[in-house]
Amino acid sequence: MKRVLGISFGELMLKGANRKLFTDRAIKKIKRAIRSFHYDQLYMQMGKFYIDADPAQYPEMTEAIRKVFGIVNISPSIRVEKDMASIEEGVLEEIKQYQGQTKTFKVFVNRVDKSFTPKSPELSRELGAFILRNSEGLTVDIHNPQISVYVDIKEKAYIYTRRIPGIGGLPIGSSGKGMVLLSGGIDSPVAAFMVAKRGVEISGVHFHSYPFTSDRAFEKVRDLAEFLTEYIGGMTLYSVNLLPIQKAIGENCREREMTILSRRFMMRIADRIAKEKGAQMLITGESLGQVASQTIEGLTASGAVTDLPILRPLVGLDKTEIIKIAEEIGTYETSILPFEDCCTVFLPKRPVTKPRLSDLERSEEALDVEGLVKQAVEEMEVFRIGD
């Protein structure tokens, strides 16, 4: 008899042509989540993953594994040999925790190994009767039981009564690749989290204005990326100095257009890196109406320089809802640290709030747009976070 942790992904994930790819990825993500623990074995058996380790670690391990997208639930289980006596012994051990409690139960048998006898209905009945004989306070309720006693018959038998929900979502990588424009603020890490949750593999690009922005400001962004990697696994972070571009804008364009023109350059550069690295979408923390620059005209103007889809998952959320998610994923405290952002360094006194595309394009005629983009990409730094 051995205590193991059972891990279930959504069923769809374990079927179909991509199964092998999915399984390899899932194993990698689980391994990463438990990399700071010692464990004897991580294996897959008929549709579920199992971890074999010192049970004292299971609560902490469960917390770490819960963060892997696509996991539906985690069940601390008892693994026994596949014979009636061992299964009964395992059931007895599992229901010990409910002894003396007045509760109802039902046995759910999942006979994955179809050669096993007795068949499910009979086995459920037998085990139900066994529990009644060997417990105090427990009674059967087949419609609305308080305790579900699961018995999975596979190569071994697995018995469990607790299913701890995962955070859901889809496994990373199942929905393609995206590039998030990651500032040091509250919003963009949350945007990255939300899109990653739907299975998108994330990399990030951050713009700074060094030396006007400090090393500490960049450290902050790295820390934010580090928090994200707890969920999304390792990520690549591209760091781009926007200062030459901001200087060029400052010298050649209207002051009021500084923010929106900078934003258009950010989009162009993100577009360029994304295409080079195989990302199929851009992701931003933009919303509507939150700040002066976030008007539909502003979003249209910044989006017009790329033909990649731009995902803005926060448009449906209020700031309080965004903050709540930031707190849950652990980025909030870091996001509110008061370091300067490249946009605030060159903040115009009265920014245009409803820019016209034709005006912006005319302003940009004074700039060597392609040369500036090219230079910024050539000089960018690349960091691997969280591996």
User: Using an 8 Å Cβ cutoff, are 110 and 75 in contact?
Assistant: no
Q: Which of 228, 341, 364, 369 binds ligand ATP (CB under 6 A)?
A: 341
Tokens of 150: 């699961």
Q: Which of 183, 213, 246, 363 binds Mg ion (CB under 5 A)?
A: 183
Q: Which stretch binds ligand ATP (CB under 6 A): 89-97, 184-192, 347-355, 366-374?
A: 184-192
Q: Which of 285, 303, 351, 355 binds ligand ATP (CB under 6 A)?
A: 285
Q: Which of 90, 185, 189, 233 binds Mg ion (CB under 5 A)?
A: 185
Burial 136-167 (b: 16+ CB within 10 A, else e): eebeeeeeebebebbbbbbebbbbbbebeebb
One character per residue 134-173, x = contact with Mg ion (rule: CB under 5 A):
----------------------------------------
User: With binding defined as CB under 6 A, does residue 182 bind ligand ATP?
Assistant: yes
- Nearer Cβ to ligand ATP (107/274): 274
Q: Which of 169, 185, 313, 355 binds ligand ATP (CB under 6 A)?
A: 185
Tokens of 348: 């115009």
- Nearer Cβ to ligand ATP (94/257): 257
Partner in contact with 71, chosen from ligand ATP, Mg ion, none, beta carbon below 5 to 8 Å by kind: none
User: With binding defined as CB under 6 A, does residue 376 bind ligand ATP?
Assistant: no
List CB contacts of 345: < 8 A, sequence separation 6 or more. 209, 212, 213, 246
Distance from C-alpha of 229 to C-alpha of 98, rounded to nearest angstrom: 38
Q: Which of 239, 241, 246, 284 binds ligand ATP (CB under 6 A)?
A: 284
Least separation in angstroms between CB 320 and ligand ATP: 14
DSSP string covering 58-74: HHHHHHHHTTSTTEEEE
Please tell me whether the peptide bond between 211 and the residue prior to it is cis, using omega within 30 degrees of 0: yes
Torsion of CA 101, 103, 106, 110, to 10 degrees: -50
Residue nearest to Mg ion (CB): 185
- Nearer Cβ to ligand ATP (153/179): 179
Residues numbered 286-305 forming contacts with ligand ATP, rule: CB under 6 A? 286, 290-291, 293-294
Euclidean distance between the first and the last CA atom of the chain, given in angstroms as a whole number: 35
Q: Which stretch binds ligand ATP (CB under 6 A): 162-170, 222-230, 280-288, 326-334?
A: 280-288
- Nearer Cβ to ligand ATP (284/363): 284
Query: Using alpha carbons only, how large is the chain's radius of gyration in Å?
Result: 27
Instruction: Find where tokens 């942790």 sit.
Output: 5
User: Using an 8 Å Cβ cutoff, are 383 and 236 in contact?
Assistant: yes
Interacting residues with Mg ion (CB under 5 A): 183, 185
